[in-house]
Amino acid sequence: GQQLNQSPQSMFIQEGEDVSMNCTSSSIFNTWLWYKQDPGEGPVLLIALYKAGELTSNGRLTAQFGITRKDSFLNISASIPSDVGIYFCAGPHPGTYKYIFGTGTRLKVLA
């Protein structure tokens, strides 16, 4: 079945550093979403992308919809301790409203 692979699986960074993570698919997506999940809570939407090549920012976060429509990238600039959590990419299974979630990137920020 279709899968969304995220890399890296986990990262440890120093506060103030920039972070990059990506998500790849075996097939084309028309929508990419990026979520963050804090411990004990549900995923919270960070950024939504709807067009190939689209670059969207939300504060220190920037996400891009890959031109091939099979990948997406999320960057966090000047990381802070509250950026800690698990970041998920997601997209709807083509032709349906069934969302597939990536395997997640676990981020830890060292003060």
Partner 1 sequence: DAGVIQSPRHEVTEMGQEVTLRCKPISGHDYLFWYRQTMMRGLELLIYFNNNVPIDDSGMPEDRFSAKMPNASFSTLKIQPSEPRDSAVYFCASSLTAGDQPQHFGDGTRLSIL
Q: Where along the sequence are the contacts to partner 1 (CB under 8 A)?
A: 30-31, 33, 35, 40-45, 48, 50, 88, 92, 96-104
> 76: helix, coil or strand?
strand
Q: Which of 20, 31 has the CB closer to partner 1?
A: 31
CB of 57 to partner 1, least distance (A): 16
Phi, psi of 15 (to 5 degrees): -55, 135
Which is closer to partner 1, CB of 18 or CB of 38? Answer: 38
Count Cβ neighbours within 10 Å for each residue of 60-83 and write b for 16 or more, e otherwise: ebbbbbbeebebbbbebeebeeeb
Cβ closest to partner 1, residue 40 vs residue 59: 40
